[in-house]
Homo-oligomer: A and B are copies of this chain.
Amino acid sequence: MPYYIGDVIRDEGTLIARTPEKFREAGIEVRLESTVTAIDVTQGRVRLTNGELLPYDVLVLATGAESRLPAWPGFDLPGVFLLKNLADAIRIKAHLNRSACRKAVVIGAGFIGMEMCEALRERGMETTVIHRGERPVARWDAEFAREIVAALERNGVAFLAGTELRGIEAGTSCPLKVMTSRGPIEADLVLVAVGIAPNVLLARDMGLRIGATGAIGVDAQQRTSAPNVYAVGDCCEVYHRVSSRWAYLPLGDTANKQGRLAGRIIGGRPAAHPGVVGAQSFKIFELETAATGLNEAEALQAGFDPIGDVYWGNAIAGYFGKRKLGLKLLADRASGKLLGAQAIGETGAVGRINTLSAALWSELTLDEIGWLDLAYAPPFGGAWDVIHRAAQRLQRKR
């Protein structure tokens, strides 16, 4: 008998997450507001804070990831938010509705920080991003990071690179004042999005094997090192087909696949997780941004001799108009095998990256990718697509 431990989510009195009810309707016992204090893998028992012991035949750990909590002073002031789950989003929305917010500071320039810039600008907020590094979204290389910063600036977001946080204080013109290495910035709302880490507290207590990435080690059946204990989602590792290594890639689609796979296995149907190739994307204002496979640093670490090149082309046929699309390919010099790709443009970036993800899945070489049969029609691409041109050019460079 499986147990589901989750939250009921209400937004201004309206129930918006019905998952627990759906489980109940399916005859599954749901324990809400229940915290697990310990799991005894020998006895097969879960202990709750109220002292209750729940026995299990099969246990699935889906403890997810936790937002990194910075050690700065003032982090606990009202108006300072994390954004990890639906409840956080509702709290942010309520804050925006309650107060006459005009100024937001986003700390961190990962996916969440970038996507929130767009959401905050849509609410009419003056928005500033504070980033310790030089480039947003580390998965994308400098050529594309530049385009992302340009999109932020075009849309009225101030992007402060190379900026250290010192803390958050009460402000004078606004409720909050963010202290940085470049001086103070006043704000009505501060979003802290400086990354996440797998939640492995229980797993460590249980003595489960933790992988080199810091996430729970699993096999292709999502089994942990303890009998009848599975792990899925942002708390565990996933096999990377391109690096041939276990990686930590906490993404929603991967979590879904791991859950489905564990369900199959527990239900007695054979299956194996075939791994991922690292496909990911996000929208930033008018830009589609997508990547797959390894970047240069990851490729080197996985033992490849990578060679890369950026191709700036047109997402549609030249005689049909101009929609700038950049595609960077990375390949292994010796074998010519594709190792990774990044794309950015007004349109067509995700479609290209998904096509290249399927190519990576099957270990296609640049030569093959240069001949791939793609659906040509002028509104959607040229007779030689950006994929072909980029692959042919990098192939010549090898």
Residues on A facing B (Cβ under 8 Å): 241, 251-257, 273-283, 288, 290-292, 348, 350-359, 361-362, 364, 368, 371-377, 379-381, 383-385
Contact = CB atoms under 8 A, between A and B. Distances in A.
Given A362-B362, A362-B364, A371 B257 contact: yes
Contacts of A241: 373
Given A253-B373, A253-B376, A256-B383, A364 B358 contact: yes
Contacts of A277: 373
B357 A354 contact: no
Contact of A362 (B256, B281, B361, B377): B361
A21 to B, nearest CB: 18
Nearest to A350: B380
Contacts of A372: 357-358, 361
Given A354-B355, A358-B364, A364-B358, A256 B384 contact: yes
25 contacts: A251-B376, A253-B373, A254-B373, A256-B383, A257-B371, A274-B368, A275-B373, A277-B373, A279-B376, A281-B380, A291-B375, A292-B373, A350-B351, A350-B380, A350-B381, A351-B355, A352-B354, A354-B375, A355-B355, A357-B375, A358-B364, A361-B362, A361-B372, A361-B373, A362-B362
B357 A359 contact: no
Given A290-B375, A374-B253, A361 B361 contact: no
B279 A375 contact: yes
B276 A373 contact: yes
Which of A281, A292, A364 has most B Cβ within 10 Å? A281
A383 to B, nearest CB: 4
A293 to B, nearest CB: 10
Contact of A364 (B257, B354, B361, B373): B361
A278 to B, nearest CB: 7
Contact of A361 (B368, B377, B379): B368
A374 B256 CA distance: 12
A358 B350 contact: no
Given A253-B383, A362-B361, A273 B373 contact: no
A353 B377 CA distance: 12
A253 B354 contact: no
B281 A376 contact: yes
A379 B283 contact: yes
Nearest to A283: B379
Pairs A-B, 3 closest by C-beta atoms: A351-B351, A362-B362, A358-B358
Contacts of A374: 253, 279, 354, 357
Contacts of A353: 375
A316 B291 CA distance: 18
A376 B283 contact: no
Contacts of A380: 281, 283, 288, 290, 350
Given A276-B373, A358-B359, A361-B364, 18 more contacts: A252-B383, A253-B385, A257-B371, A274-B371, A275-B373, A277-B373, A279-B374, A279-B376, A283-B380, A290-B375, A290-B377, A290-B380, A351-B352, A351-B354, A357-B372, A357-B375, A358-B358, A361-B362
Nearest to A320: B283
B384 A253 contact: yes
A89 to B, nearest CB: 11
Which of A350, A353, A358 has most B Cβ within 10 Å? A358
Which of A253, A257, A373 has most B Cβ within 10 Å? A373
Contacts of A257: 371
B273 A376 contact: no
A374 B358 CA distance: 8
A347 to B, nearest CB: 9
